[in-house]
Structure 1
Amino acid sequence: MPRMPDLDKRAALLRSVVAYLEDNGVSDLSLAPMAEALGTSKRMLLYYFGDRGGLLAQALDAARPDAGGIFADVTTDAEFVDAARTLWRAISRGEQRRSVTVMLQVLSLASTDPDTYQQYARMTVEVMLDPITAALTSLGHPRSDARARATLVVSGLRGLCQDVLVTGQRARIDAAAELVIAAAVAAPR
């Protein structure tokens, strides 16, 4: 009978994998060098995460902010704005700030190597869009309009993350984030 995975060890290893990807990127991801750097074996990475793709998917999932939790109890436009600001702080200043660089790499690689990265990039976008769309729908926006507004939030804030990484002009970019967030709940013209 196979032994059951040690969930605490798996969780610690997953945190290490995320940190490794934040430091080393994903474009040249190879399990053997990663395992060596993490003080484990390739066999253990495969045991806990399946193949390379499974490892990447689980690392992306562990590294992203919980948009579902952030937008779960939104019932007013003001609460939506607060939730969107919480998301912006998480991805631009908070714990997930470093993992945004990994997400941006995956999204970029999906355009040049779609066979390898497209499914991860799509998942990265969808997992953020769905709860934001649901929140906007609960505020009375028709589903298609809510989806477009959620896209504005997700893609707008993601683009601003890239801008701050490149330029470091935080004040300008924070002001732009406020405009993106306000536009998401603004009345249609």
Structure 2
Amino acid sequence: MPRTADPQRRTELLRAVVAYLEERGVADISLAPMAEALGTSKRMLLYYFGDRGELVAQAMAASRPNAGEIFDGVASADDFVAAAHTLWRAITRGRQRRSVALLLQVLSLAITDPDTYQPYADDAVTVMLDPIAAALMGLGFEKADARARATLVVSGLRGLCQDGLVTGDRSRVDAAAELLIAAAVAP
């Protein structure tokens, strides 16, 4: 009879995997060294996460802000701006700020190794884009316009995160984020 997975152990292991990937990156991950560093075995990583790709996908999902939750209930342009500021703070100052580097790596790897990373990159974009576009449609923007504006927010803020990570110029990047967020709901 197969053993039932321990959800608490899985949660703890997922947190450790996220920290490991944030520190070491995803490009050359190998499960055996990761398992050793985490005090477990490759077999246990496979047991809890399936395969290397699924492990990366679950680590990304566990480390990103919940855009659906952040943009839920947006009923006005001011609500949208406030939600976008919440997202910006989460990815630049909140607990998700370290995961932005992980996301940027996966997006870059999707360009050079699409067979491995494209599905994870697509998912990372979609889970942010869809709830933001839905909020904009709720404000009266047509679907195509809402998706374009949501793309401005998602890709724009992500690019500004990268700029901030590279340059360390927080005040300039924050000012640019303010402009970008305002542009997303401008008529």
After TM superposition, the score normalised by the length of structure 2 is 0.99
2:85 counterpart residue number: 85
Which secondary structure does the structure 2 equivalent of 1:96 belong to? helix
Amino acid at match of 1:104: L
Deviation track 1:6-40 (CA, whole Å, cap 9, x = no partner) reads 00000000000000000000000110000000000
Pairs within 5 Å for 1:1-189: 1-187=1-187
Which secondary structure does the structure 1 equivalent of 2:74 belong to? coil
Amino acid at match of 1:164: G
Matches of 2:10 and 2:173, distance apart in 1: 37
**Number of positions where the alignment pairs a residue of Structure 1 with one of Structure 2:** 187
Cα shift at 1:2: 1.1
After TM superposition, the score normalised by the length of structure 1 is 0.98
Matches of 1:68 and 1:44, distance apart in 2: 32
Cα shift at 1:154: 0.1
Matches of 1:51 and 1:169, distance apart in 2: 38
Cα shift at 1:73: 1.0
Amino acid at match of 2:116: T
Amino acid at match of 1:161: C
Which secondary structure does the structure 2 equivalent of 1:84 belong to? helix
Which aligned segments of 4 or more residues in structure 1 are displaced greater than 3 angstroms?
none
Deviation track 1:135-169 (CA, whole Å, cap 9, x = no partner) reads 00000000110000000000000000000000000
Which secondary structure does the structure 2 equivalent of 1:40 belong to? coil
Identity over aligned residues, as a percent?
Answer: 72
Matches of 1:179 and 1:64, distance apart in 2: 23
Deviation track 1:35-81 (CA, whole Å, cap 9, x = no partner) reads 00000000000000001111011001001100010001111110100
Gapped runs of 5+ residues in structure 1? none
Which secondary structure does the structure 1 equivalent of 2:120 belong to? helix
Q: Calculate the aligned-residue CA RMSD, in Å.
A: 0.5
Matches of 1:4 and 1:74, distance apart in 2: 41
Gapped runs of 5+ residues in structure 2? none
Amino acid at match of 1:71: F
